[in-house]
Chains A and B, each alone.
Chain A
């Protein structure tokens, strides 16, 4: 997963490819694949109850869910940044026994079904979980089925995206800048803060947006660990799922909102993503 802009030669190579004849055996499945990806979105737009949309979207439940989604996704991104950037630094800049194994563990949530993540979180942080029981008895703190629980579930799924992105940026950044900072009297922490962070800021930004988008769409871990309580843990994806059963038009309206948010994110990242080779 690279999030860096392509070098110029890649673009000219693509132009050269376009001039060549494209074999039908490749063109046909390619077009089918494109249709498969685009048609559902078109369907969503076509079937949208445009006239009833203002009414649908003005219901307080929708705004409640949207607000909760935005807040919890942002909070999950903040958690990922605070914990994930130092973790990425550790993976990129230090060597310690088992580093490769740790790195594999970090990326595990990328491939783990989110529901499994939710179950695992419940087992650890649930009221009877290993850590959860202690949190409950010592601080009276309960995480499952609360808004902070939503944030945790989303961060669990989203943080690896950030870690991988930032680690890649750190590996690409020249570590000798940190040495230069050291010769000027900067401690390792100062060098990290004043030299490394600004150098990898684009990577951190891309990772944060990626993590945010992943958190916004999170469903499995959230519903398993935090449940589906309107106003407290019911985020947009959960609201969409619930609405599909009772009020499909509302589900479409909610989906349109999420689609709009996604398109906005994509537009914000167009230089990094859409131009990727």
Chain B
């Protein structure tokens, strides 16, 4: 794999430090996924040159853009980087076309020339008829596409997208996500996407880098990460119950003495994960084949799509998904005590 982006982003602030190695191949779309305050936006600003690194380096297509130790800092305006900002930051006083032409004009094209080069980008986004519109009269989805066209028009070697779908309502989001996926697939250089939405990350990115507290906690393809989450945050994101313990054979002992039985044989430090839908709830202790059975207390109920998500506390806190009919039949309410069961075959154990 040739590396187009080779970066070690170190930024030290009073209350926060970022220490993030980041590599990407040409054409690769990498999503930085993490909770608020994890350092995603800091990483993006550092890549764009809007925030100087305190240490580390940033190399793009073999050219060193930033190396604090050697005193190298390429300012934002000289980097071959395009940014789609979270709220787009389209210049309100310029038409959609002039927004897209802005970067070309900064690169020395005359007004007429820049507009002629910018128009095909709007056409690609299906926005040719809105070329004369001011950003204020565009819908959220249209503004997002103008912002993408503006960033792509300067032919960046690194495209940065900061929560590109966060400002959109749920319906538009679906359309825009599909379009963005297409445009990113066509993009031949590196794209880095920052998001806190796992679905956006998994649909749009080839590879996820999950960061928490300024550090990488896990990276891999969307399917690897969703199958084998390594932190509670990721497990919650991908909708899995996750436990860490020490395995011996089919038995995984958790730090507080609880134990889980899995179908996989494994030994040493291990994670055990199972989806909430694998949990069955009972008013009385079940006699079935399930080996993982715990008495728990209902902490909360929540409608989750067409399922009821039940949060349970007790010796082994977990989330369970039931149909509304099942929830009604069990007469669940906060404080109710139930038995939760999970078949060993429905759990998934992997080394920690």
Contacts and interface: CB of A to CB of B under 8 A. Distances in A.
B76 A182 contact: yes
A186 B85 CA distance: 16
Given A182-B77, A183-B50, A183-B82, A177 B89 contact: yes
A128 interface: no
Contacts of A190: 106
B89 A186 contact: no
A201 B75 CA distance: 27
Contacts of A195: 91
Nearest to A197: B93
A273 to B, nearest CB: 23
A198 B75 contact: no
B81 A183 contact: yes
B103 A185 contact: yes
Of the candidates A176, A183, A185, the one having the most CB atoms from chain B within 10 angstroms of its own CB is A183
A260 B176 CA distance: 57
Contacts of B77: 182-188
B85 A184 contact: no
A199 B76 contact: no
Nearest to B50: A179
Given A182-B50, A183-B83, A185-B154, A198 B106 contact: no
B50 to A, nearest CB: 5
A249 B245 CA distance: 100
B110 to A, nearest CB: 14
B85 A181 contact: no
B106 A177 contact: no
Contacts of B91: 177, 180-181, 195, 198-199
B315 interface: no
A174 B88 CA distance: 12
Interface string A133-157: 0000000000000000000000000
Contact of B48 (A174, A183, A187): A183
- Which range holds the interface residue count of chain A? 10 to 19
Contact of A186 (B50, B106, B151): B106
A86 to B, nearest CB: 20
A182 B106 CA distance: 9
A185 B76 CA distance: 7
Interface string A159-187: 00000000000000010110111111111
B150 interface: yes
Interface in B55-82: 75-79, 81-82
A194 interface: yes
B76 A194 contact: no
Contact of B85 (A176, A185, A201): A176
B219 to A, nearest CB: 25
B136 interface: no
A183 B76 contact: yes
A244 B151 CA distance: 66
Contacts of A185: 77-78, 103, 106-107, 154
Nearest to B76: A182
A207 B49 CA distance: 34
A240 B91 CA distance: 48
B89 A180 contact: yes
Contacts of B48: 179, 183
Nearest to A186: B106
Interface string A104-136: 000000000000000000000000000000000
Of the candidates B76, B82, B85, the one having the most CB atoms from chain A within 10 angstroms of its own CB is B76
Contacts of B243: none
Contact of A184 (B50, B92, B93, B106): B106
Interface in A43-77: none
B92 A199 contact: yes
A195 B151 CA distance: 16
Contacts of B85: 176, 180
Contacts of A177: 89, 91
B103 A184 contact: yes
Given A176-B85, A183-B77, A184-B82, 6 more contacts: A180-B85, A184-B102, A184-B150, A184-B154, A198-B93, A201-B93
21 contacts: A174-B89, A177-B89, A177-B91, A179-B48, A179-B89, A180-B85, A180-B89, A181-B91, A182-B49, A183-B48, A183-B49, A183-B79, A184-B106, A184-B150, A185-B77, A185-B78, A185-B106, A186-B102, A187-B106, A194-B102, A198-B91
